[in-house]
Amino acid sequence: MTSATKTLAIFDLDRTITVHGTFTPWLLRIVARYPLKALLVPLILGAMIGYKLKAISRKRLKEIMLGLIAAGVPGKTLGAITDQFIADWFPERCRPGALSAIKNHLAAGDAAMIATASNTVYVNAIAAKLGIPFVVATGTETTPDGAVTGTIPGPNCYGKDKLDMLTAAIAQHGLSDRKTVFYSDHHTDLPVLLWADEGIAINPNARLRAEAATHGLKVVDWGLP
């Protein structure tokens, strides 16, 4: 079978593969290791209010959260925290249907990719844990020893930016001749769901469920762990 007849299976991460979002729980693991960082939580709450009021962007909010909680943690320590986080979450907090889909795609010889707004600082390790070779995610600037600076180089991998980053990555990795299947739970991924050869709504939120009905997207329940 040639690559032209095979599939590129693209998975959103948060609430598609996992049951819950991962960014805040990952940050909370750092707070658990460094309890004094909890004193910075009111600043994060203020930034969240700023985001809700549209005073700052979603990308800037994430930079503030990374800068306050993750920046300054030695790279080796951050790696150990991330490893433990992944050990506790995967597969225990993953949707059974997601794990089956990943396994089936890989067994069929399909290419697999995670495309997520979550940050590369831990998503790359999640992808390795799941056996997924390709990742498109929000960048995370790090120092040579692996510490986080708090800066996000490039766009936040969200909405239309996710589609732009995804199509660039597909071309970069020589995957353009494959059929694309995209799985996601959230309406902000509608640009990618409609772009893909097959877009599938996984346990969709209310707005995506309505959009799926409008656009004729398949809706699938991948269950709970």
The answer to whether position 110 is within a domain reads yes
The answer to whether position 132 is within a domain reads yes
The answer to whether position 92 is within a domain reads yes
CA distance 223 to 225: 7
Q: What is the mean pLDDT of residues 29-44?
A: 97
pTM over 0.75: yes
Domain that holds residue 80: 3-220
Residue 123: which CATH number?
A: 3.40.50.1000
How many domains are contained in the chain? 1
pLDDT the model gives residue 129: 97
The answer to whether position 114 is within a domain reads yes
Which positions ≥6 away from 59 have C-beta within 8 Å? Answer: 138, 152, 155, 156
The answer to whether position 225 is within a domain reads no
pLDDT the model gives residue 1: 39
User: pLDDT tens digit string along 101-118?
Assistant: 999 999 999 999 999 999
Look over the chain and give the mean of its residue pLDDT values, rounded to a whole number: 96
The answer to whether position 12 is within a domain reads yes
CA distance 26 to 203: 23
